[in-house]
Amino acid sequence: EPEVTQTPSHQVTQMGQEVILRCVPISNHLYFYWYRQILGQKVEFLVSFYNNEISEKSEIFDDQFSVERPDGSNFTLKIRSTKLEDSAMYFCASKGPEQFFGPGTRLTVL
Amino acid sequence: AQTVTQSQPEMSVQEAETVTLSCTYDTSESDYYLFWYKQPPSRQMILVIRQEAYKQQNATENRFSVNFQKAAKSFSLKISDSQLGDAAMYFCAYRNYGGSQGNLIFGKGTKLSVKP
């Protein structure tokens, strides 16, 4: 069964460093998403991506964040200069008729 | 803006019993989707069940069923014959119908414990 995959499963970084979180969506899906979940809180929408451009983004998705689909299979989330409050689980999702989530990347900013 | 509210931070059920998790939402749209996602300790988000707003019939997936009340904007999840593996966080989610506006809006979740 096709699935969304994410790498790495856990990323530890120092405050101020750049991180790139990677996702491989389901191959025939056209819509891609990033969500984040701070520990103990609800899942929050960050950004949606369609036809090689951002289609919608939330207030959380500020200039420190960027997304791209560099090679037609990977879908990446870059955080330019990480802050302590960026520590969270980051979920990638892709949508055909349904939205399927990847297993998440746990980002820890020290 | 759409909102999703889960008023039960925690629930507990005895194994083999039935439990109902509550969810209400607010929207001005007439067409939309509603979902229940399960998040076990692994933190993977797993789709449990989906309901299209235009369908009057309540969705059912094995032991999981919903009570969708469109006028009341209520979408509760019933788990029958609860199993130990059902223990998890359950999130109710809303999505507008169609197009690229497909991002999910989640409630805060209900932590379900299953007692043996």
- Among B36, B45, B46, pick the best mutation site for testing chain A contact (most A Cβ within 10 A): B45
pLDDT for the residue B101: 57
Q: Does B86 touch chain A (CB under 8 A)?
A: no
The closest of A43, A5, A42, A98 to B49, measured between CA atoms, is A98
User: Cα–Cα–Cα angle for B113, B79, B39, nearest 5°?
Assistant: 55
Is the confidence at residue B99, as pLDDT, over 60?
A: no
Is the confidence at residue B46, as pLDDT, over 80?
A: yes
The answer to which of A9-13, B1-5, B6-10 has the lowest mean pLDDT is: B1-5
What is the distance between the alpha carbons of residues B38 and B85, in angstroms, rounded to a whole number? 11
pLDDT category at B44 given cuts 50, 70, 90 is: confident
Query: Which of B45, B102, B108 is closest, CB to CB, to A101?
Result: B45
The closest of B69, B37, B40 to B50, measured between CA atoms, is B37
pLDDT for the residue A72: 77
Q: What is the pLDDT of residues A3-49, one digit of tens each?
A: 899 999 999 999 999 999 999 999 888 899 999 999 888 999 999 99
Is the confidence at residue B100, as pLDDT, over 70?
A: no
Residues A97 and A80: beta-carbon distance below 8 Å: no
Which residues of chain A from 36 to 65 reach within 8 Å of chain B, CB to CB? 37, 41-45, 48, 50, 55-56, 58
Is the confidence at residue B18, as pLDDT, over 70?
A: yes
> Which residues in chain A are closer than 8 Å to B93, comparing Cβ atoms?
43
Query: Which of B37, B47, B100 is closest, CB to CB, to A48?
Result: B100
What would the mean pLDDT of B14-26 be, rounded to a whole number?
97
pLDDT for the residue A99: 85
Tell if the CB–CB gap between A104 and B103 is shorter than 8 Å. no
Is the confidence at residue B50, as pLDDT, over 90?
A: yes
In a 3-state reduction of DSSP, which class is residue A86? Answer: helix
pLDDT category at B98 given cuts 50, 70, 90 is: low
Cβ-based neighbours of B105, under 8 Å, separated by 6 or more = A45, B2, B3, B4, B93, B94, B95
The answer to which of A10-24, A90-104, B18-32, B73-87 has the lowest mean pLDDT is: A90-104
Query: Which of A42, A48, A104 is closest, CB to CB, to B106?
Result: A42
pLDDT for the residue B6: 97
pLDDT for the residue B36: 97
Q: Does A108 touch chain B (CB under 8 A)?
A: no
Cβ-based neighbours of A107, under 8 Å, separated by 6 or more = A11, A13, A19, A21, A79, A82, A86, A87, A88, A89, A90
Number of other CB atoms surrounding residue A67 within 10 Å:
22
Query: Which of B46, B91, B100 is closest, CB to CB, to A42?
Result: B91
> Which residues in chain B are closer than 8 Å to A106, comparing Cβ atoms?
43
pLDDT for the residue B103: 86
Overall size of chain A counted in residues: 110
CA atoms B61, B89, A59, A47: torsion sign: negative
